[in-house]
Amino acid sequence: MADQSHYAQQPRRVPQVNTKYRRIVTEIPAPGSLPILEKLRQYEPRSMSGQPPIIWDRAEGCQVYDAWGNMWLDWSSGVLVTNAGHGRAEIVEAIVNEARKPLLHNYCFPSAERAELTERLVKVAPEGLGKCFLLTTGSEATECAIKLCRTYGQTKSPDKIGMISFLGAFHGRTMGSQMAGGIDKLKGWIVNLDPAMWQVPFPDGYWVEDTSFDGFLASLKAQGVEPQQIAGVMTESYQGGNASFAPAEFMQKLSAWCKEHDILLVMDEVQAGFGRTGKFWAFEHYGVTPDLIACGKGISSSLPLSCVLGRDDVMNLYPPGSMTSTHTGSPLPVVASLANLDLLEKEQLTERSARLGSLLHDELAKLQVKYSSRLGYVHGKGLVASLHMIKEGRKEPDVDLAYRVVARCIDKGLMLFSPVGVSCVKISPPLITDEDQLREGLEVINEALGEVLDEGLQAQA
């Protein structure tokens, strides 16, 4: 897990940077930021201190600024949220107008804004998914999808409550979503894990070499699970931390198998949706249609909002008043999302992600060859990529190396968030980025990798 000690806490001299997109003029962390960092350390739980010690003061387009004259080119999208860019004027205006109206809250009482957004979201979902339930966080959306699966399963038979998900998956931090996740060390606190939640290997083709659907069936069999016990299968469309996709053939077989056994297929698009991978939904790469979609993050490019989209019969399982949330369709996030959807559409950001993504991945493939003994592989599609750092010439994750590369990029004015997979440097610029910015970011990664690896060699010598 992220640990503050991965980043220097005391200001250190770093080379000054001054380009069109990056500016580093102070020591890092900026001396002026220390009292704020200290206050956060004092009043927040330790768990919140995992990111590089940079105080975000404002963020616009593809740039993040602190209050001491530094500017970063953003390759984080603030954990894959700001697909349409940071602080877009159109989104700001929508929020300000709504705040001035004012309509700041309306609980589940109907609103025109909620009517418009649910219609818009259903229209961008695949045919057959006719309902949209708005929530606030991604964890709530996946939690809700689990609940819907289990309720649906029980309409078929009392024992049909099982959830299948994938090893390595992250679906959120609430109890159900965390149990459905596939990262054991995050689940220790639960102790009494639900005995009807099982995980199977995610066929990423690198760590898990067997990408056949037979492997999936064999894993269920080994765990003594029968299809009639299963209510739902949930997977991230690409596995988040690693940006890894399964083969399309695997997903197509999974989808057909789910249909055969009346099992709901849930795609967790919290991170992958809204154009990130060069398709509006990442599951489109597989040519499958899920029964439920859980999404969030890029849905608004800003304020907290998430939703579950799904089949009418599944989404209508609960009577009036029994599947709601205090902030369902909270007006400010809703209008932010509407403005965001306009931008994604008007600026054709999905297509842009596909186009620039192929440039990004071509260049990253060259870096992988150049640094192949430490950069095991690069996964991702469109404007998301993960660089998997490994121990010298061994297929073994090197978490420390990933942190060092991220820290060096921060020093150089390229904003990345801390490694979230085992050992990955995750790349996810806003989809409005341009070729010039991409090439500059790639050069920074190249320099950072080169320097960090050279230093490692010198330390050994």
Chain contacts with ligand PMP (rule: CB under 6 A): 137-139, 142, 170-172, 236, 240, 268, 270-271, 296
Q: Whole-number minimum distance, CB 145 to ligand PMP, in Å? A: 10
Q: Whole-number minimum distance, CB 170 to ligand PMP, in Å? A: 5
Q: Whole-number minimum distance, CB 139 to ligand PMP, in Å? A: 3
Q: Which C-beta is closer to ligand PMP: that of 82 or that of 142?
A: 142
Q: Which C-beta is closer to ligand PMP: that of 197 or that of 444?
A: 197
Q: Which C-beta is closer to ligand PMP: that of 270 or that of 354?
A: 270
Q: Whole-number minimum distance, CB 112 to ligand PMP, in Å? A: 26
Q: Are the C-beta atoms of residues 272 and 238 closer than 8 Å to each other? A: yes
Q: Which C-beta is closer to ligand PMP: that of 71 or that of 266?
A: 266
Q: Whole-number minimum distance, CB 305 to ligand PMP, in Å? A: 10
Give the residue at shortest CB distance from ligand PMP. 138
| Sign of CA pseudo-dihedral 231, 236, 242, 243 | positive
Please report where in the chains the tokens 């500016």 appear, as a residue: 23
Q: Which C-beta is closer to ligand PMP: that of 118 or that of 165?
A: 165
Q: Which C-beta is closer to ligand PMP: that of 29 or that of 176?
A: 176
Three-state DSSP string of the chain: CCCHHHCCCCCECCCCEECCCCEECCCECCHHHHHHHHHHHHHCCHHHHCCCCCCCCEEEECEEECCCCCEEEECCHHHHCCCCCECCHHHHHHHHHHHHCCCCCCCCCCCHHHHHHHHHHHHHCCCCCCEEEEECCHHHHHHHHHHHHHHHHHHHCCCCCEEEEECCCCCCCCHHHHHHCCCHHHCHHHCCCCCCEEEECCCCCCCCCCCCHHHHHHHHHHCCCCHHHEEEEEEECCECCCCECCCHHHHHHHHHHHHHCCCEEEEECCCCCCCCCCCCCHHHHHCCCCCEEEECHHHCCCCCCEEEEECHHHHCCCCCCCCCCCCCCCHHHHHHHHHHHHHHHHCCHHHHHHHHHHHHHHHHHHHHHHCCCCEEEEECCCCCEEEEEECCCCCCECHHHHHHHHHHHHHCCEECCCCCCCCEEEECCCCCCCHHHHHHHHHHHHHHHHHHHHHHHHHHC
Q: Which C-beta is closer to ligand PMP: that of 137 or that of 301?
A: 137
Q: Whole-number minimum distance, CB 296 to ligand PMP, in Å? A: 5
- Residue 204: name the closest of 165, 244, 237 by CA: 244
Q: Which C-beta is closer to ligand PMP: that of 8 or that of 186?
A: 186
Q: Whole-number minimum distance, CB 123 to ligand PMP, in Å? A: 23
Q: Which C-beta is closer to ligand PMP: that of 19 or that of 174?
A: 174
Q: Which C-beta is closer to ligand PMP: that of 231 or that of 420?
A: 420
Q: Whole-number minimum distance, CB 269 to ligand PMP, in Å? A: 8
Q: Whole-number minimum distance, CB 142 to ligand PMP, in Å? A: 5
Q: Whole-number minimum distance, CB 458 to ligand PMP, in Å? A: 36
